[in-house]
Every structure is written in C-alpha cells, then in structure tokens.
Amino acid sequence: MEENRTKEFEDTFHKDLASYLEAHDLIDKHFPEAPDIEALWATIGESYLPDALREWNHYPTVALGWMMYIGMAIAYYWDEDWERYSHVPDLYKMMILNTDFDHLDDYIRQQVLHLTPEQGEKLQQTVGECAARTYNTISHLHVEPGTPDAFRVFIAALHEMYLMGAAMELKSLGYHMEKC
C-alpha cells in the first residue's frame, strides 16, 4: 500500500517534469533506462536526505533542485569512467567533500559538467523551473505536513528530480532513447 502511494506521487511528478523537459527538447520522449544510475538512488537519497530536510523549510526549491544536479553528475560520471566511479561508496558524499551544500550547484555545473558560464546560466534556469514546478505540485497535493504521506511525497519528488537530471545529462551527452 505505502509503496503504491509513493509510486502514485512519483508518477505525478514524472508526468509534469517530463512534459516540461520534452517540450524544451531536454529529454527524449522515451525515458532512459539506466539501471546503473538508478541503482545508486537508495544510497544517494539516504545520504542527501538530512541536508535536504535541513534546507526544506527555508529553501524548498534548493532542496529539490540540487537533487536534479546530482542526477546530472551521476550520469556524467557514468559516461566518463563508470569503472572508476562505480566503486565509490557514496558519490554524493564524494561531491560534498569538494564543496559545501550551498555551492553544490556551482560545483556540479563548473567542476563536474564543465559548463561555460552561459551554459551554466541556462541550466540554472531550467533546474530552477523544474524545482519550482515540483514544489508547486507538492503544494497542490494538499498532504498534511509531518505525516507519512508527506515524507513519501518528498522522497518521490527527490527521486524524480534525480532521474530527470540523469535523463537530461544523458541526452546532452548524445544518448538518444528510442523504443525498440
């Protein structure tokens, strides 16, 4: 039952974000299947959760958006040298050791993805829009704060932001997903 509720929440976020990102040609219509990237979600999500919860009340779009950047970084690592990065026990902790939470976005844009300032600005706007859309969706779900459903909503939102970030980066790296 609880797993079904979480899946329902994930589907809600997925539909909205995929529609937005597809319309801007940032992901393919056929969503990528990336089991290596998905397999890291539990470790990354668990490691990220205390930081996200700490930021949620004052900076909810940061708590959501940074997870999208993390998904992009993981996809980049997957493409760059998965043999090396797959052996790192917690890639989120590896990244946060190189910066602090407040500057994680800058670190990923500049040091991981190696974006130009113009590319970084454009990505920042996209991530900000996705985070704002997700926060708006959360607000309209009318889930009572502090309840098990509120926690499920938060986890579902973070998971979808992670997956969307990975999908965006995979597409930017030249991977195009098509149905066989």
Number of domains in the chain: 1
Per-residue pLDDT at 175: 82
Domain annotation covers residue 147: yes
Per-residue pLDDT at 5: 73
Question: Strand locations in 38-153, DSSP E?
Answer: none
Domain annotation covers residue 100: yes
Domain annotation covers residue 44: yes
Per-residue pLDDT at 31: 85
- Residue 178: pLDDT over 80: no
Domain annotation covers residue 179: no
**Could you give the CA distance from residue 75 to residue 71 in angstroms, rounded to a whole number?**
6
**Could you give the CA distance from residue 90 to residue 161 in angstroms, rounded to a whole number?**
18
CA distances from 33 to 13, 61, 169, 177, 179 (A): 18, 26, 13, 9, 11
Domain annotation covers residue 159: yes
Over residues 14-18, mean pLDDT: 96
Domain annotation covers residue 180: no
Percent of the chain surpassing pLDDT 90:
85
Over residues 37-51, mean pLDDT: 96
User: For 95, how many CA atoms within 13 A lie in the half-sphere containing its CB?
Assistant: 30
Domain annotation covers residue 49: yes
Over residues 56-71, mean pLDDT: 97
Per-residue pLDDT at 179: 57
Taking only the tens place, the pLDDT of each residue in 93-112 is 999 999 999 999 999 999 99
- Residue 166: pLDDT over 60: yes
**Could you give the CA distance from residue 152 to residue 173 in angstroms, rounded to a whole number?**
32
Tell me the residue range of the domain where 56 lies. 2-172
**Could you give the CA distance from residue 159 to residue 164 in angstroms, rounded to a whole number?**
9
Domain annotation covers residue 177: no
Rounded (5°) CA angle 163-3-42: 45
